Amino acid sequence: MRIERARQDDLAEVAALWHAGWHQAHADIVPPALVASRQPAEFEARAAKRLSATWVARAGGGLAGFYMLEGDELYQFYVDARFQGRGVAGSMMAAVERDLTGRVAWLACSVGNDRAARFYEKAGWRREAEEVYPVESAEGTQEVIAWRFEKDLR
């Protein structure tokens, strides 16, 4: 597996992985209006907007996962279902932490996304707060309740 910056020709695969992963992790724990707005075209537009801040994990002839950074925030972090439990997430998190060295990094994890929360805690991230987190959608900004995780990488 190798982790590298996303390329333009990764866009469709990143968007598809993001769509599938988001629904796997969030469909049962966020407001129904947000779930309804999370259609493939929305992920394509969001991924296109952030492609320059996206890194991909390549394995098995395709994408095993991706992450996006925004400043000090680990904005998105997804592993393809076919690669979950195979060490991809740990390798990706090590790359994230290298990329964010020198900062106090943070991420938002929807309350109820227990699998992700356990992974972040195992990776040494601290659950610092529960807060309202604004999320963009095709219907405008919506709010979810999220756990704020932080890790001091200075």
What is the extent of the structural domain holding 130? 2-152
Q: How many residues are present in the chain?
A: 154
Q: Which residues in the chain land under pLDDT 50? A: none
Cα 128-109-93 angle, rounded to 5 deg: 90
pTM of the model: 0.95
CATH code of the domain in which 121 resides: 3.40.630.30
- pLDDT one-digit tens code per residue, 60-100: 889 999 999 999 999 999 999 999 999 999 999 999 999 99
What total number of domains does the chain contain? 1
At residue 27, the 3 state secondary structure works out as coil
